[in-house]
Amino acid sequence: MALKRLIHASDVHCARQRLRDLLSLAARYELVTIAGDLQCDGDLVKALAESPTRVAAVTGNMDDTHIARLLEEAGLSVESEVVYLGGYHLAGVSGREPVTSLNRVRELVRELGVEPGRLILLSHHPPKGVVDRALLGVHAGLYELREFDETFQPRVHLCGHIHEARGVGRIGRTLVVNPGPLKRGYYAVVDVEEGSAELERL
């Protein structure tokens, strides 16, 4: 099945009902991406595993090794991997060890010879300078992710982490999407083919 539209969320922070409400919309899309900070117990991972639509997830900085293991065992984790989905390569960067994970992703993207327009990046942290402005006005994204976007020009970079930086931006040809925290009902619908996104609320 060709990947045309996906639903993206981040920063669940134990909001079980919000996650269930999000997944009730999943059948309309080809993919659900989760950019970490699930927290809590295995109930959230179980809900993701039961989604009618494929789910790809990475951990956030607030997730522990238990959550990382559960995502891996459920076949949902794409951390430090590059997987082929519906005409695109999806690369996942850990929120717990972002630099180490990104280095591995960089190696894989080069080995596979992934074309810029056919790459989707999923990370917990945003890139520096785009959808990353924290409460005090500081840009809290990662330089390493920005450098990756500038170098490889993914079609879409899906992220989260900075709750108050909900928005859509660009780094060159790369669309960068921070949907805001799902804990507050925020998510985004991304049209991969068009390279556009709409911020939504449950």
- Cβ atoms 51, 72 nearer than 8 A: no
pLDDT in tens, 2-14: 899 999 999 999 9
Strand order in the sheet with 55-57: 55-57, 31-34, 5-9, 186-191, 196-201
CATH homologous superfamily for 5-201? Metallo-dependent phosphatases (3.60.21.10)
Q: Kindly report, residue by residue over 86-137, the tens digit of the pLDDT.
A: 999 999 999 999 999 999 999 999 999 999 899 999 999 999 999 999 988 8
Q: What is the pLDDT of residue 61?
A: 97
pLDDT tens string 37-78 = 999 878 999 999 999 999 999 999 999 999 999 999 999 999
pLDDT at residue 188, as a whole number: 98
Residue type, 165: A
Residue ranges per structural domain of the chain: 5-201
Rounded distance between C-alpha atoms, residue 100 and residue 155, angstroms = 22
Which is nearest to 163 in space by CA: 138, 131, 196, 200?
131
Phi and psi torsions of 89, nearest 5°: -100, 125
